[in-house]
Amino acid sequence: MAETIDLKLHVWRQNGPKDAGRFEDYSQYARGISTHASFLEFLDVVNERLVLDNKEPIMFDHDCREGICGMCGMVVNGEPHGPQKATTTCQLHMRSFRSGEELWVEPWRASAFPVIRDLSVDRGAFERIIQAGGYITARSGAAPDANAIPIAKSLADEAMDAATCIGCGACVAACPNASASLFMSAKIGHLNSLPQGQAERDKRTLAMVAQHEKEGFGSCSNHYLCEAACPKEISIRWIARMNRDLLSAAISYKPAEQRAGGDGLSWV
Amino acid sequence: MELRSNAPTGPIETRWDRHRAEIKLVNPANKRKYEVIMVGTGLAGAAGAASLADLGYKVKAFCYQDSARRAHSIAAQGGINAAKNYQGDGDSIYRLFYDTVKGGDFRARESNVYRLAQVSVDIIDQCVALGVPFAREYGGLLANRSFGGAQVSRTFYARGQTGQQLLLGAYSHLARTVAEGKVDLRTRCEMVDLIVEDGRARGIVTRDLVTGKFEVHLADAVILGTGGYGNVFYLSTNAKGCNATAAWRAHRRGALFANPCFTQIHPTCIPQAGEYQSKLTLMSESLRNDGRVWVPRKREDCTRDPSSIAEKDRFYYLEEKYPAFGNLMPRDIASRQAKFVCDQGLGVGPEINGVRRGVYLDFADAIKRDGKKAIAERYGNLFDMYQRITGEDPYSVPMRIYPATHYTMGGLWVDYNLMSNIPGLFVAGEANFSDHGANRLGASALMQGLADGFFVLPYVIGHYLAQAGKSKTTESSAAVTATLQETQGRFRKLMDIGQKGSRTVDDFHRKLGGIIWDNCGMARDPKNLRKAIEQIPQLRDEFYSTVKLTGSGESLNRDLEKAGRVADFFELGELMCRDALERDESCGCHFREDHQADGECVRDDDRYAHVAAWEWRGNGPEARDGNYVRHQEQLSFEYVKMAQRSYK
Ligand SMILES: Cc1cc2nc3c(=O)[nH]c(=O)nc-3n(C[C@H](O)[C@H](O)[C@H](O)COP(=O)(O)OP(=O)(O)OC[C@H]3O[C@@H](n4cnc5c(N)ncnc54)[C@H](O)[C@@H]3O)c2cc1C
Ligand code: SF4
Ligand code: FES
């Protein structure tokens, strides 16, 4: 049953975006860890020991601890979310490690994700990408009956595949160019797949891609490391689709104010 | 204090429509002059903020996470109810209303519940329009399933990630309004107090969780959509950050807290594995549609490989005791029965403190009947999650489950307009008490959050503002400076104690949770409740003298955040126990050992067909006996005839 292990733990400590940061050796706090504990529970234990030793606890983001909120995320031994495939850091369990194993824990590294403290980064850039077009405009109370437009099961399933992205940012951390293409393409793919998403399709695609660039994310050069790191197994096929949608949008899209009788609203 | 529900009278089918027709309106040009604060960006908060913004109000929204998309609604798995009757299986608004009142064991307000059932149909339309990829049938129409305790299939779902998809829908709605400049969204920012002046809510004090700075935000109306308080138990299925602070601080400023002891325990969670456990993970109860719950009949079989236990030696206790509903029994009964068999020594899994707390949820028959593929299609991600957490494969070994705290029906008291007894303070979603009585039915919380946010708040806020007008409070008003100073003082005091302290915040939280779980959890009795009411203040005193904190208050300080929340949980936890003691009956999830018939609740409708709404009279952590005043809102049941629930 409950075996325990000792780890050689190195954690990145950084006081704020301007601090240079460094690894600290916390092996003395990382002994006797239950293999049934989750990775974050392991860090909780380390943190309680640090505090009792008058040291500030390691800051890391987390909330649901069920792999769904997308709040957690750190690089463990060079891999975003650690060694287990399709698993967020909070769902990684200590049974994945051997006693005596060396652990190097650090934050997502990308210039578009400044470090707030230690393992916590600012993912505000993701928010702004969504705000640029990751929605369908539908005022509350104005919707037609939900069954008015049938949607083929295969199409709904596919949209759902893309919609499962949790917005964690591991794809960016994994990418040598720090591109957020996988994240962005998942949202574009979800909405562009659905009949309800067609009206704003071109505008959405162009605006989100433009915002992605503005935030300083790199572009995709087909390394596929994002897909391997993604805890929700979002497929890189969505990037290909996004590129297709981008091409067609670039050809056909005219903002409303350029059309005769347009609504005069500006777009990004 | 007289508690008026302000619910319309007359035929229940037309109450909401008539109310809407009579409600006061703010003219479109004036709307942008009104500022509304929305604390919380879960289903209730995001839907409410976006809807109000689209109407033209200036909205400021807050959440403690780094993104509105991470509110705890994201974690809901199973589904959302709506009386669409798409399956033609006899569902109707009336039936959903009836089920909810009955399921709540006659402790909810009929008018509110009817409205909830009524707007449920609009929610699905709205969500599909926002791009929520609900499950579909091959013909392209929406699919439904039946969910905990319902005999019709009215639950809409998106794999096992319904809450995620609904929240992403509401979040995208909110994101658009943010982009359009209609909503000012503040993330990593926690409400730590409510500002009340001349009896009206005027704004909030927040603490920026990155810089540690306190700020004042004023508005013409304040809405709390801050979720439930299940984390008072320490171990629960809630996210780690879920807290009661916003609601509790409002309570301390005069808002009544209703039915705090009505907390729900969910029957299907992964059992605790050890001391370090930080939270419990829910396995959606949709699993009970196909899984069969059992324990060994003989104690000596409890440690045996389950596959080697013969059919006749397995005790399918829900199926045997309740043949009509079997494994789909409502949550409270399913949970108590699990506790009951484990207390008898029939539990399985690891032994913690001398008891094995786990029962099997077995899919072997379902896999034999429908094939592994069909089961994987239905529950694949839940099975994967189970395997990641326990290291066991539920396709071949039965899952082990045990109840855990999951939802809180209690919350701030609100009238039919979702307004608390403090004018200008509204409460929506899980944070209020209004719709689920003493027990919530599965898939009804998501429904309530979105009903409040999309379809109720937009009307009732206008109704209030049209009458109350703009608030004249300014940053220099006495109430503002006093509240700000008190709040800063509270955190400074914690930091001062923390410098010299010796025990971690989590240590206190675990102990507090343990007391409440043992004495005010699945089964309660007066002796234990009295004991808890003594123990909690003692532990709280220790907290206020020995809690350990590092770092400084004027910057990011996660332990200080937690300490502030735990301080509030101490007070709320004590109030829960008092409420449970005063409610001298059993109803829904409030199971008093001294009021039962064969393990089932015995209500006392003559004395307790009311809402208990508690008023705060204490002052500071020193609060002792007599500082709480219990008010009552009498409930009347004109449509659903009061009867003892019977699922036999
Ligand atoms: C694991 C799990 C599964 C569930 N499954 C289902 C299901 O299948 N069907 C169903 O109907 N219900 C389900 N529920 C219940 C349901 O998910 C919740 O009741 C509902 O989502 C609550 O929504 P809400 O908008 O009220 O609050 P939440 O989604 O909890 O949002 C609270 C918001 O308030 C913010 N907040 C809180 N405190 C503060 C503060 N002090 N300052 C600033 N911001 C603050 C948070 O940041 C967050 O944005 C489930 C619950 C859990 C825990
Ligand atoms: S695509 Fe995957 S890795 Fe990237 S944000 Fe979404 S879930 Fe995370
Ligand atoms: S903490 Fe929510 S995904 Fe890990």
pLDDT tens per residue, range B53-86: 999 999 999 999 999 999 999 999 889 999 999 9
Q: State the CATH number of the domain containing residue B168.
A: 3.50.50.60
- The residue among B604, B441, B429, B451 whose CA lies nearest residue B102 is B441
Residue nearest to atom 5 of ligand 2 (CA): A167
Distance between CA atoms of residues B288 and B268, nearest Å: 8
Q: Are A129 and B172 in contact (CB under 8 A)?
A: no
Q: CB of A41 closer than 6 A to ligand 3? A: no
- State both tokens at A117: 């403290």
Domain boundary among B351, B375, B405: B405
Query: HSE-up of B137 (CA within 13 Å, CB side)?
Result: 9
Residues of B whose CB is below 8 A from A196: 128-131
- State both tokens at B365: 């028959």
Q: CB of B473 closer than 6 A to ligand 1? A: no
Q: CB of B163 closer than 6 A to ligand 1? A: yes
Q: How many domains does chain B have?
A: 3
Amino acid at B181: G
* pLDDT for res A209: 98
Q: State the CATH number of the domain containing residue B342.
A: 3.90.700.10
Please choose from B66, B69, B72 the residue to mutate so as to test ligand 1's pocket, defined by most ligand atoms within 8 A of CB: B72
Which of A64, A158, A165, A263 is the best substitution to test chain B (most B C-beta atoms within 10 A)? A64
Q: CB of B62 closer than 6 A to ligand 1? A: yes
Position B646 in a domain: no
Q: State the CATH number of the domain containing residue B502.
A: 1.20.58.100
Position B231 in a domain: yes
Domains and CATH numbers, chain A: 4-116 (3.10.20.30), 123-138+147-254 (1.10.1060.10)
* pLDDT for res A53: 97
* pLDDT for res B431: 98
Q: In angstroms, what is the span from residue B579 Cα to ligand 1's centroid?
A: 23
Domain boundary among B405, B424, B454: B405
Question: Do both B326 and B273 map to the same domain?
Answer: yes
Question: Do both B320 and B375 map to the same domain?
Answer: yes
Q: In angstroms, what is the span from residue A168 Cα to ligand 3's centroid?
A: 8
Q: Do the Cβ atoms of A166 and B164 come within 8 Å?
A: yes
CA distance B129 to chain A (A): 6
Is B90 part of the contact surface with chain A (CB cutoff 8 Å)?
Answer: no
pLDDT tens, B277-303? 999 999 888 898 899 999 999 999 999
Q: What's the Rg (C-alpha) of chain A?
A: 21
Amino acid at B214: F
Amino acid at B26: V
- SS3 of residue B224 by DSSP: strand
Question: Do both B577 and B524 map to the same domain?
Answer: yes
Q: In angstroms, what is the span from residue A103 Cα to ligand 2's centroid?
A: 23
Question: Do both B198 and B286 map to the same domain?
Answer: no
Q: Are B457 and B428 in contact (CB under 8 A)?
A: yes
- State both tokens at B271: 């059992």
CA distance B551 to chain A (A): 6
Amino acid at A203: K
Q: Do the Cβ atoms of B350 and A1 come within 8 Å?
A: yes
Q: Which band of pLDDT confidence, cut at 50, 70 and 90, is reported for residue B600?
A: confident
* Those residues with Cβ within 8 angstroms of residue B631's Cβ, 6 or more apart along the chain or in another chain: B1, B3, B256, B612, B613, B614, B615
Instruction: List all residues of chain B from 536 to 555 with a beta carbon under 8 Å from chain A.
Output: 548-551
Catalytic-role residue among B109, B145, B292, B331: B331
B547: which strand partners?
B503
Which of B157, B504, B561 is the best substitution to test chain A (most A C-beta atoms within 10 A)? B504
- SS3 of residue B604 by DSSP: coil
Which of B137, B279, B392, B459 is the best substitution to test chain A (most A C-beta atoms within 10 A)? B279
Question: Do both B419 and B357 map to the same domain?
Answer: no
Q: Select the more confidently predicted residue: B87 or B148.
A: B87
Residues of B whose CB is below 8 A from A116: 210, 556
- SS3 of residue B435 by DSSP: coil
Residue with tokens 């809901």: B76
Q: Which band of pLDDT confidence, cut at 50, 70 and 90, is reported for residue B2?
A: confident
Please choose from B446, B454, B457 the residue to mutate so as to test ligand 1's pocket, defined by most ligand atoms within 8 A of CB: B446
pLDDT tens, B541-559? 999 999 999 999 999 999 9
A10: which strand partners?
A25, A104
Position B175 in a domain: yes
- State both tokens at B282: 């829910």
Q: Do the Cβ atoms of A71 and B65 come within 8 Å?
A: yes
**Average pLDDT of adjacent 10-residue blocks, chain A of 268 residues:** 87 96 98 96 98 97 97 98 97 96 98 98 98 97 96 97 98 98 98 98 98 97 96 97 97 74 44
Domain boundary among B405, B434, B457: B405
CA distances in angstroms from A135 to A199, A251, B34, B53, B179, listed in the order given: 11, 22, 26, 15, 11
Closest residue in A to B124 (Cα–Cα): A146
* pLDDT for res A259: 62
Position B192 in a domain: yes
Question: Do both B278 and B351 map to the same domain?
Answer: yes
Distance from the first to the final alpha carbon of chain A:
57
Of A211-215, B266-270, B336-340, B626-630, give the range with the top mean pLDDT. Answer: A211-215
Is B511 part of the contact surface with chain A (CB cutoff 8 Å)?
Answer: no
Amino acid at B224: L
Is B378 among the catalytic positions? no
Q: In angstroms, what is the span from residue A126 Cα to ligand 2's centroid?
A: 11
In degrees, to the nearest 5, what angle opens at C-alpha B80 toward C-alphas B76 and B81? 150
Distance between CA atoms of residues B150 and B328, nearest Å: 8
* pLDDT for res B62: 98
Question: Shortest CB distance from B548 goes to which of A51, A61, A67?
Answer: A51
Q: CB of A70 closer than 6 A to ligand 3? A: yes
Question: Shortest CB distance from A164 goes to which of B137, B141, B161?
Answer: B161
Q: What's the Rg (C-alpha) of chain B?
A: 24
Strands A22-25 and A8-13: antiparallel
Question: Do both B520 and B578 map to the same domain?
Answer: yes
* Those residues with Cβ within 8 angstroms of residue B53's Cβ, 6 or more apart along the chain or in another chain: B59, B177, B180, B182, B183
Position B627 in a domain: no
Position B634 in a domain: no
Residues of A whose CB is below 8 A from B172: 130, 134-136
Position B509 in a domain: yes
Q: Which band of pLDDT confidence, cut at 50, 70 and 90, is reported for residue B385?
A: confident
Q: CB of A69 closer than 6 A to ligand 3? A: yes
> Directed axis angle between helix A181-193 and helix A201-214, to 10°?
170
Q: Which band of pLDDT confidence, cut at 50, 70 and 90, is reported for residue B275?
A: confident
Strands B355-356 and B359-362: unpaired
Instruction: List all residues of chain B from 270 to 289 with a beta carbon under 8 Å from chain A.
Output: 273-274, 276-279, 281-282
pLDDT tens, B140-192? 999 998 886 688 999 999 988 999 999 999 999 999 999 999 999 999 999 99
Strands B600-601 and B189-197: unpaired
Question: Do both B109 and B232 map to the same domain?
Answer: yes
* Those residues with Cβ within 8 angstroms of residue A221's Cβ, 6 or more apart along the chain or in another chain: A176, A177, A179
pLDDT tens, B442-499? 899 999 999 999 999 999 999 999 999 999 999 999 999 999 999 999 999 999 999 9
pLDDT tens, B616-632? 987 554 555 557 899 99
Position B2 in a domain: no
Residues of A whose CB is below 8 A from B165: 160, 163
Amino acid at B215: E
Dihedral of CA B328/B333/B334/B335: which sign? positive
In sequence order, what DSSP letters do the residues of chain A get, joined into one string? ---EE--EEEEEE-SSTTS--EEEE-GGGS-SEETTSBHHHHHHHHHHHHHHTT-PPPP---S-SSS-S-----EETTEET-SSTT--GGG-BGGGS-TT-EEEEE----TTS-EEETTEE--HHHHHHHHHH-S----TT-PPPTTSS---HHHHHHHHHHHT-----HHHHH-TT-B-HHHHHHHHHHHHHSGGGSTTHHHHHHHHHHHHHHTT-B---S--HHHHH-TT---THHHHHHHHHHHHHHHH---GGGSTT-------
Residue nearest to atom 16 of ligand 1 (CA): B445
CA distance B642 to chain A (A): 34
Question: Do both B439 and B389 map to the same domain?
Answer: no
CA distances in angstroms from A191 to A127, A131, A159, A196, B172, listed in the order given: 16, 14, 7, 8, 11
Residue with tokens 């409708």: B605
Across B511-520, average pLDDT:
96
Is B127 part of the contact surface with chain A (CB cutoff 8 Å)?
Answer: yes
Question: Do both B366 and B434 map to the same domain?
Answer: no
> Directed axis angle between helix B110-129 and helix B93-103, to 10°?
120
pLDDT at B351 over 90: no
Question: Do both B180 and B255 map to the same domain?
Answer: yes
Distance between CA atoms of residues B549 and B560, nearest Å: 7
For residue B491, the enclosing domain spans 478-611
Across B314-324, average pLDDT:
95
pLDDT at B509 over 60: yes
Question: Shortest CB distance from A153 goes to which of B50, B75, B137?
Answer: B137
Closest residue in B to A127 (Cα–Cα): B67
Q: Do the Cβ atoms of B175 and A62 come within 8 Å?
A: no
Distance between CA atoms of residues B555 and B473, nearest Å: 29
> Going edge to edge, which strands form the sheet with B628-634?
B411-412, B257-258, B610-616, B628-634
Across B552-579, average pLDDT:
97
Q: CB of A168 closer than 6 A to ligand 2? A: yes
Question: Do both B597 and B573 map to the same domain?
Answer: yes
Is B139 part of the contact surface with chain A (CB cutoff 8 Å)?
Answer: yes
Q: Are B450 and B123 in contact (CB under 8 A)?
A: yes
- The residue among B14, B114, B91, B259 whose CA lies nearest residue B637 is B114
- The residue among B75, B71, B73 whose CA lies nearest residue B63 is B71
